[in-house]
Amino acid sequence: MVVPSATFRSDELALGADDEDNGDVNAQIDIDEVGPQAAVTRTGAGSEGVSMSDESGVMLPGSREEMRFLRKNSNWVNMIIAILACLAVVVVILLIAPQPNVDSERVVDYQAVAEQSQDSADFDLIVPQIPTGWTSNEASLDRIGDSDTTSWYMSFIGTQQQWVSVEQAKASERWAKKKVGDAVAAETVKAGGSEFQIYRTEDAKEYWTTSKGGVSVVITAIATPDTINGFAEQVADQLK
């Protein structure tokens, strides 16, 4: 913008006073002598004239530098948020998943109970050897409903929150099928020379069923495959 040239002389400012009245100070402001006004330069301006930072080097809000910084770091932030969200979902699933209703503090001598119950059973009771660190929290010989049929039940608590139960009865495969409920039939496997039908549920519970000589056995477990297979082999060896 062109600034009109204007000259202000001391005689006009002094309102009629002479040079001596100004105390030997003669003031003359002449804009023409100052010359064109210098262009203002902004420190840290970008190619479009947008300020990136102030003189202290601090990023200004809304600057292109701030936008690049946010884009560069947003990928890591999003990744961390996604990982934390996945972990939260896993924790929630583990918390709400149905757990077997067992007493983990109770310890039962299942071998002694089997010895005492054998005379009341019309079949040979299976008494497996449990892994080191495992205990039995339940063992009983009970009637099935109002019938004369009895079932031999054992429950075992293991390391790493594992759980296995073995139930045996002189009953048909229909009885075994009722024990698995809504579990979905999966594969069949051989263990200890016997064939087992495996059923699985959505909450990671497995049922292994087998029968021989009119006696059926249902293994229910939340445990590692090796652990379940170990119990199945003992069941097959003792089932007559």
Judgement on whether residues 221 and 189 belong to the same structural domain of the protein: yes
Per-residue pLDDT tens digits for 168-178: 999 988 899 99
Classify residue 178: in a domain, yes or no. yes
Among 58, 80, 82, 79, which Cα is nearest to 69's? Answer: 58
CA dist 200 → 32, 94, 165, 180, 227 (Å): 96, 17, 15, 9, 16
User: Which residue range is the domain that position 89 belongs to?
Assistant: 7-96
- Whether residue 1 is contained in a domain is answered as no
DSSP string, 9-41: -HHHHTTT--GGGGTT----EEHHHH-SPPPP-
Read off φ and ψ for residue 137, nearest 5 degrees. -115, 0
Task: Give the count of domains, the chain.
Answer: 2
> The domain that contains 169 carries what CATH number?
3.30.200.100
Cα–Cα distance, 232 to 228 (Å, whole number): 6
* 53 and 136 co-located in one domain: no
139 and 210 housed in the same domain: yes
State pTM to two decimals: 0.58
**Among candidate residues 72, 96, 120, the one where a domain is terminated:** 96
13 and 36 both lie in a single domain: yes
pLDDT-based confidence at residue 81 (cuts at 50, 70, 90): confident
Domain contains 225: yes
> Mind listing the pLDDT tens digit for each residue in 109-165?
999 999 999 999 999 999 999 999 999 999 999 988 877 889 999 999 999 999 999
